């Protein structure tokens, strides 16, 4: 088992009260890395063992936990910290001579890249273990992407791509995100963000704020396509977790009719995805098919118009009828006890049912106009907090990583530590402290 210490792992209150060695034991005593160690030891065979594989692996994880931005920074820490060398498994009698030189880490990381599949399996095992111990783990999921810049510089416009030589980053490219909104005074605003590097796509548990699936791609990769692929892989590898999922929250970047249909029709997951305004200019409402005075806007709010006065009132949401695949809305006059001059002549006899097929993007199993939709959508910020921890606690704001395979490896190791820390608390029978492990201080 790998062992690691750290000054501040996630910035969580409960973690702060633990000493470095306790944080190390909490994380690495629950990291399922034995299979990876055996594979690496088998690869080494009868070769020289001046720097034991397990000790080097432990020290690599120590560098992640202690937020070392480079191998040289880690090596300096190992050179002056005998206790850390002992925890990692290096020979104490050798003193500073036990610390591996830079080229050893370079070769070791290359071996880890070749064993990425085994590292991914460790991630899946941790997710499965948490799902077994936490009954509601995966009940509400959130999905989003995060930009991660490369350490390499962006090439000049028109410059021919360089050949891979281990120093340049020939995998990274340019990603662009555009954000639009409306000011309080009604004026439109737009913000364009671009970066050179990569993007990590994450699906996290929205209550515990822990990752359940991830993918690292070039910056230009589509978030929507990446999200669909992750959901499909999640079903293949964690079928029971996905079966227990009730809702998935996402921002406007995932507003897609096919994805919304697939989530409910294939997985019976309620899509809680913010919607983009794609109607024609000046089009505020549309008539519900089969009615004369019931309309809806692009956000799914349903209104009825009084047949006599023309007064518009928002109809009361009455829930989703699964067998009928329809949303029920009640007459506001009947539901709230209001006076309506044209109630007797109204075509809405107490209530109306709007089938999902009226507009699959707008009408979803959880009505966009309901309080439940708002509560669930607010949980989407869980993935943003996980992204923030990757920056602040795992050093992705400042790093020296170049290359897609190296970036994927680094992200994998960071997420492994995050899951192992949480799993340790659960196995300690301290569920009441789980939120302090997961929620930012």
The model's pTM is: 0.86
Decide if pLDDT at 391 tops 50: yes
Q: What is the pLDDT of residues 189-210, one digit of tens each?
A: 788 888 788 899 999 999 999 9
pLDDT at 204: 95
**Residue 275 pLDDT level (bands cut at 50, 70, 90):** very high
Q: Are 144 and 250 in contact (CB under 8 A)?
A: yes
* Residues 411-437, mean pLDDT to the nearest whole number: 77
* Residues 401-426, mean pLDDT to the nearest whole number: 88
Nearest Cα neighbor of 62 from 82, 39, 85, 46 is 85
Per-residue CA distances from 28 to 13, 116, 311, 424 (Å): 20, 19, 65, 9
Q: What is the pLDDT of residues 97-132, one digit of tens each?
A: 999 999 999 999 999 999 999 999 999 999 999 999
* Residues 391-415, mean pLDDT to the nearest whole number: 82
CA angle 224, 229, 234 (to 5 degrees): 125
pLDDT at 5: 39
Higher-confidence residue: 161 or 120? 120
- List, in order of start, the domains of the chain with CATH numbers: 13-123+412-438 (no CATH), 138-155+168-277+377-386 (3.30.420), 286-370 (no CATH)
**Residue 155 pLDDT level (bands cut at 50, 70, 90):** low
| SS3 per residue for the chain | CCCCCCCCCCCCHHHHCCCHHHHHHHHHCCCCCHHHHHHHHHHHCCCCCCCCHHHHHHHHHHHHHCCCCCHHHHHHHHHHCHHHHHHHCCCHHHHHHHCCCHHHHHHHHHHHHHCHHHHHHHHHHHHHHHHHHCCCCCCEEEEEEEEEECCCCCCCCCCCCCCCCCCCCCCCEEEEEEEEEECCCCCEEEEEEEEEEEEEEEEEECCCCEEEEEEEEECCCCHHHHHHHHHHHHHHHCHHHHHCCCEEEECHHHCCHHHHHHHHHHHCCEEEECCCCCCCCCCCCEECCCCCCEEECCCCCEEEECCCCCCEEECEEEEEECCCCEEEEECHHHHHCCCCCCHHHCCCCCEEEEEHHHCCCCCCCCCCCCHHHHHHHHCCHHHHHHHHHHHHCCCCCCCCCCCHHHHHHHHHHHHHHHHHHHHHHHHCCCHHHHHHHHCCC
The span from the first CA to the last CA of the chain, in angstroms, equals 29
User: 409-427 burial string, b = 16+ CB within 10 Å, else e?
Assistant: bbbbbbbbbbbbbbbbbbe
User: 79-96 burial string, b = 16+ CB within 10 Å, else e?
Assistant: eebeebbebbbbeeeeee
Decide if pLDDT at 13 tops 60: no
Question: Which residues, at least 6 apart from 156, have a Cβ–Cβ distance to it below 8 Å?
Answer: none
pLDDT at 308: 86
d(Cα 187, Cα 165) in Å, to the nearest integer?
50
Which tokens hold the place of 56?
């080097």
d(Cα 40, Cα 53) in Å, to the nearest integer?
7
* Residues 44-61, mean pLDDT to the nearest whole number: 86
User: 102-123 burial string, b = 16+ CB within 10 Å, else e?
Assistant: eeebeebbeebeebeebbeebb
Per-residue CA distances from 223 to 332, 341, 411 (Å): 40, 50, 17
Q: Are 413 and 61 in contact (CB under 8 A)?
A: yes
Decide if pLDDT at 396 tops 90: no
């Amino acid at each position: 088992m790998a062992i690691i210490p750290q000054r501040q792992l996630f910035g969580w209150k409960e973690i702060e009260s633990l000493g470095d060695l306790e944080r190390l034991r909490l994380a690495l005593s629950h990291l399922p890395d034995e299979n990876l160690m055996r594979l690496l030891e088998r690869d080494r065979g009868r070769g020289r063992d001046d720097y034991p594989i397990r000790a080097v692996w432990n020290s690599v994880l120590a560098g992640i936990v202690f937020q070392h931005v480079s191998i040289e920074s880690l090596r300096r820490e190992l050179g002056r910290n005998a206790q850390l060398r002992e925890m990692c498994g290096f020979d104490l009698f050798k003193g500073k001579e036990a610390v591996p030189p830079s080229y050893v880490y370079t070769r070791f990381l290359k071996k880890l890249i070749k064993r990425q599949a085994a590292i991914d399996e460790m991630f899946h095992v941790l997710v499965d273990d948490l799902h077994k111990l936490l009954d509601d783990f995966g009940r509400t999921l959130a999905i989003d992407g995060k930009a991660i810049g490369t350490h390499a510089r962006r090439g000049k416009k028109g410059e021919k791509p360089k050949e891979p030589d281990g120093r340049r980053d020939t995998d990274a490219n340019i990603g662009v995100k555009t954000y639009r909104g409306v000011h309080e005074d009604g004026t439109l605003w737009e913000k364009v963000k671009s970066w050179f590097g990569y993007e990590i796509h994450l699906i996290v548990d929205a209550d515990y704020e822990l990752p359940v699936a991830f993918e690292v791609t070039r910056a230009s990769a589509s978030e929507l396509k990446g999200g669909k692929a992750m959901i499909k892989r999640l079903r293949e590898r964690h079928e029971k977790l996905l079966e227990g999922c009730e809702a998935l929250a996402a921002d406007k970047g995932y507003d897609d009719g096919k994805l919304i249909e697939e989530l409910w029709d294939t997985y019976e997951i309620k899509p809680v995805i913010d919607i983009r305004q794609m109607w024609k200019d000046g089009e505020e409402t549309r008539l519900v098919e089969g009615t004369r005075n019931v309309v809806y806007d692009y956000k799914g709010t349903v209104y009825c118009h009084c047949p006599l006065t023309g007064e518009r009132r928002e109809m009361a949401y009455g829930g989703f009828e699964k067998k009928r695949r329809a949303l029920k809305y009640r007459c506001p006059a009947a539901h709230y006890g209001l006076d309506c001059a044209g109630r007797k002549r109204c075509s809405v006899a107490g209530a109306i049912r709007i089938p999902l097929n009226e507009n699959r993007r707008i009408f979803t199993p959880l009505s966009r106009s309901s309080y439940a939709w708002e509560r669930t959508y607010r949980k989407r910020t869980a993935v943003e907090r996980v992204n923030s921890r990757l920056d602040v606690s795992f050093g992705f704001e400042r790093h020296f990583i170049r290359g897609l395979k190296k970036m994927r490896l680094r992200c994998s190791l960071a997420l492994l530590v995050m899951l192992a820390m949480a799993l340790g608390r659960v196995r300690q029978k301290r569920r009441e402290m789980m939120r302090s492990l997961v929620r930012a201080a």
